[in-house]
Structure 1
Amino acid sequence: MVKIRNKINDIEPYVPGRSIKEIADAYGLKEDEIIKLGSNENPLGPSPAAVEAMERELESVHRYPESALTDLREAIADYAGVGMDQVIVGGDGADEIIDVLGRTFLEPGESFVVPMPSYMYYEYTLQAHDARAVHARWDVNENRLDLESVLDAVDESTRLVFLCTPNNPTGGLIDKKDIRAVLESTDTLVVVDEAYTEFAGVDNTDLLPDHENLFILRTFSKVMGLAGMRIGYGLGDPQIIEYMHRVKPVFSLTRLSHAAALATIRDRDYIKKSTEYSIKSREYLYSGLKKFPELRVFRSYANYILIDVRGTGRTAAELSEELLRKGIIVRDCTSFTGLDEYWIRVSVGTLEEDRRFLEVLGELVQ
């Protein structure tokens, strides 16, 4: 057999969630009856301008896409309030940017720090680089970063520190003074993941001018409604961006993704509407969930809510399965390091989907 790298032999394959079709077939449901509240997607769908842009671009898909992405980088720079030389854009959502960070900064045996529970894909992506994950702590009960645990986790082998704000899956924010404290305590690159920044109404781009070791990670998958087009971007010091471009795949963004991203980021009315609707949906869900004495519900600044379900007498897996049988998909968070088997995460849906979820949940719990 062809020899595989030793590290790859140690990696467990990623197992994606079941598709809507698979769930419909398994439980005898109609596909259009299933409500998907498990992946933090935009319930309004994409910008009509993005759909039109992709349709116009279809006749050109026999041509290679643009490699420099000048117009898109300019539009992102304008949106984020930074220079164009501070922007890098990747395909496969923000996940490609995480991989490029690994290829740019990590040598085998070096480490990266993640406060847990947090986004699991940092570790999943970077383990292929033969890097070590060092777990700091996110205080779940207080829904805040344990700053001291992060500062204690950083040592001479640390090359990246990941800080997710709002944090996935807890929905809590990291105070700017805590981010500044981490930045000023080390020369290592601090990656602040702002995938859900629009829903929180806060960002950390104002820290970029004074901290060359700050890198901000963002995506078009959430508020911009393009999860299926796989577009992510990063903001950082121009020198950092230049190094990353040396290893980033040249044609990683397709022509259709490029067109969709450019049309969406220019459609500020859509972004505003999308943000406001998701926040309205989140607050509706939060208010409804707080009425269940069996649940412990966490205040969120993203487009999802974390729920402790142990008061129902069920595990997350059991309750998620019961919801699936009723045609509702939520995220069982048992696989998140730092959480036990009693947590689920619910994404915002349309208000009608929210109402249906609360109704079914009430039937199951009460």
Structure 2
Amino acid sequence: MVKIKRTVKELDPYIPGRSNEDLARVYGLDPDNIIRMGSNENPLGPSPQAIETLKKSLHLINTYPESNIDDLKAKIASYARVNSEKIIVGGDGADEILDVLAKTLIEPGDEYIVHPPSYMYYEFTFGIHGATPVYARWNVEENRLDVNSVLNAISAKTKVIFLCTPNNPTGGLIEKKDIQTILESTDALVVVDEAYWEFSGENNVELLDEYENLFILRTFSKVMGLAGMRIGYGIGQEKLIEYMHRVKPVFSLIKLSHIAASATLDDLNYLKESTKLSIESREFLYEQMSKFPELRVFKSFANYILVEIRNTGMKSKQMTEKLMENGIIVRDCSSFRGLDDHWIRVSVATIEEDEKFIDVLKNILSDQQGISND
């Protein structure tokens, strides 16, 4: 028997959202009519400019990707309003940047701080490299970070602190002053995950000029509509970026992803419309779901909404199953550390899809009420 690495044997598998094909097969649905509201994807689809550019570039797939992507770094730097030496680009979304950070920083026995409930991939990635998680706290009731819990978790072994803003899955923001307090309290690298920042209009890039231990994580998967192309980027101090490039795979960003990312950044009208549509959908869903007395709906600054369904008489698995039977995917949040089995996360969709979701949800809750009254 091959001897498997201990950290891998002890690792809980990451649970992604289900595909349309999987759902269609299980429930006998038409995959083209399934409404995806579980993976925080862009309901507008990709940039038309990116699509046209990709069509013209398909003949290039027999050649290796570019190892020098200075043109893309320059566009990202302009978008982020930093110099390009502060940019590193990953070819498996922001997840690759997390892996490169772990390879660059982590020695076995190092500690890192996370604030559940939050994005679970931090633990998935850093655990493989032998780091030990230390848990701070996100106050779900108030939908804000418990800053003191982070400060109390810092030790001499702390190598990285993860702060997710807007936080996934709660949608809450971390105030800039709280991020500054944490940055000033440690020499550890503070990773601020801004995957959803465009939907909030709030970011922390200007803090890079003041704090050497700040690193910002971003992605092309959300507002830029390129989740399937797997492009992420990090913004940090030049010296850290240089070390990260030493361990990053040279050709991780495939040629077509490079081309799609560049074209999307050129399509300013698309970026504006993409942001606008997602925010309109979020606010519509918040308003409509808040009308159901059985639901507790959390205000969000991202492109998804956390919903507590405890008073419906259903658990998250039951609710998500009933929605999937009707061709709608939402996220069962029972796998998130810090949440129990009475939470779901609903991603934005088109307004037409939102309306169908609300109608289906109304029927499910009405049927459940009838069962409860029998």
Report the Cα distance in structure 1 between the residues aligned to 2:113 and 2:16, rounded to whole angstroms. 25
Q: Which residue of 2 aligns with 1:139?
A: 139
- Note if contact 2:14-2:121 (Cα within 8 Å) is conserved in structure 1: no
- Alignment gaps of 5+ in structure 1: none
Tell me the amino acid that sits aligned with residue 211 of structure 2.
Answer: H
Paired residues, number: 366
Q: Which residue of 1 aligns with 2:244?
A: 244
Q: Which residue of 1 aligns with 2:7?
A: 7
What is the TM-score of this pair, normalised by structure 1? 0.99
- Note if contact 1:137-1:150 (Cα within 8 Å) is conserved in structure 2: yes
- Alignment gaps of 5+ in structure 2: 367-374
Q: Which residue of 1 aligns with 2:89?
A: 89
- Note if contact 2:90-2:253 (Cα within 8 Å) is conserved in structure 1: yes
Report the Cα distance in structure 1 between the residues aligned to 2:283 and 2:266, rounded to whole angstroms. 27
- CA deviation after TM superposition for structure 1 residue 28, in Å: 1.6
- Note if contact 2:90-2:231 (Cα within 8 Å) is conserved in structure 1: yes
SS of the residue aligned with 2:56? Answer: helix
Q: Which runs of 4+ in 1 moved over 6 A?
A: none
- CA deviation after TM superposition for structure 1 residue 14, in Å: 3.2
- CA deviation after TM superposition for structure 1 residue 15, in Å: 4.0
Q: Which residue of 2 aligns with 1:346?
A: 346
Q: Percent identity at matched positions?
A: 60
Q: Which residue of 2 aligns with 1:173?
A: 173
- 284-293 or 59-68, which moves further after superposition? 59-68
Q: Which residue of 1 aligns with 2:219?
A: 219
- CA deviation after TM superposition for structure 1 residue 25, in Å: 1.7
Report the Cα distance in structure 1 between the residues aligned to 2:323 and 2:243, rounded to whole angstroms. 46
Matches within 5 A, 1:69-148: 69-148=69-148
Report the Cα distance in structure 2 between the residues aligned to 1:272 and 1:17, rounded to whole angstroms. 27
- CA deviation after TM superposition for structure 1 residue 68, in Å: 2.1
- CA deviation after TM superposition for structure 1 residue 17, in Å: 3.3
- Note if contact 1:159-1:188 (Cα within 8 Å) is conserved in structure 2: yes
Report the Cα distance in structure 2 between the residues aligned to 1:16 and 1:169, rounded to whole angstroms. 14
Report the Cα distance in structure 1 between the residues aligned to 2:6 and 2:186, rounded to whole angstroms. 32
Report the Cα distance in structure 1 between the residues aligned to 2:12 and 2:65, rounded to whole angstroms. 33
Report the Cα distance in structure 2 between the residues aligned to 1:22 and 1:250, rounded to whole angstroms. 34
- Note if contact 2:12-2:124 (Cα within 8 Å) is conserved in structure 1: no
Report the Cα distance in structure 1 between the residues aligned to 2:309 and 2:299, rounded to whole angstroms. 15
- Note if contact 1:166-1:194 (Cα within 8 Å) is conserved in structure 2: yes
Tell me the amino acid that sits aligned with residue 51 of structure 1.
Answer: I
- Note if contact 2:17-2:38 (Cα within 8 Å) is conserved in structure 1: no
- Note if contact 1:57-1:255 (Cα within 8 Å) is conserved in structure 2: no
Q: Which residue of 1 aligns with 2:187?
A: 187
Q: Which residue of 2 aligns with 1:228?
A: 228
- Note if contact 2:134-2:153 (Cα within 8 Å) is conserved in structure 1: yes
What's the Cα RMSD here? 0.9
SS of the residue aligned with 1:163? Answer: strand
What is the TM-score of this pair, normalised by structure 2? 0.97
Report the Cα distance in structure 2 between the residues aligned to 1:17 and 1:80, rounded to whole angstroms. 29
Report the Cα distance in structure 1 between the residues aligned to 2:10 and 2:351, rounded to whole angstroms. 43
SS of the residue aligned with 2:113? Answer: strand
Report the Cα distance in structure 2 between the residues aligned to 1:126 and 1:157, rounded to whole angstroms. 14
- Note if contact 2:17-2:331 (Cα within 8 Å) is conserved in structure 1: no
Report the Cα distance in structure 2 between the residues aligned to 1:177 and 1:287, rounded to whole angstroms. 30
Q: Which residue of 1 aligns with 2:370?
A: none
Q: Which residue of 2 aligns with 1:273?
A: 273
- CA deviation after TM superposition for structure 1 residue 6, in Å: 2.0
SS of the residue aligned with 2:225? Answer: coil
Report the Cα distance in structure 2 between the residues aligned to 1:18 and 1:283, rounded to whole angstroms. 25
- Note if contact 1:44-1:350 (Cα within 8 Å) is conserved in structure 2: yes
1:298-333 alpha-carbon deviations (Å, 9 max, x no partner): 000000000000111101111111111111100000
Report the Cα distance in structure 2 between the residues aligned to 1:15 and 1:331, rounded to whole angstroms. 11
Answer yes or no: is 1:36 the counterpart of 2:43.
no
Report the Cα distance in structure 2 between the residues aligned to 1:171 and 1:12, rounded to whole angstroms. 24
Report the Cα distance in structure 2 between the residues aligned to 1:239 and 1:33, rounded to whole angstroms. 48
Q: Which residue of 2 aligns with 1:60?
A: 60
Tell me the amino acid that sits aligned with residue 270 of structure 1.
Answer: Y
Tell me the amino acid that sits aligned with residue 279 of structure 1.
Answer: I
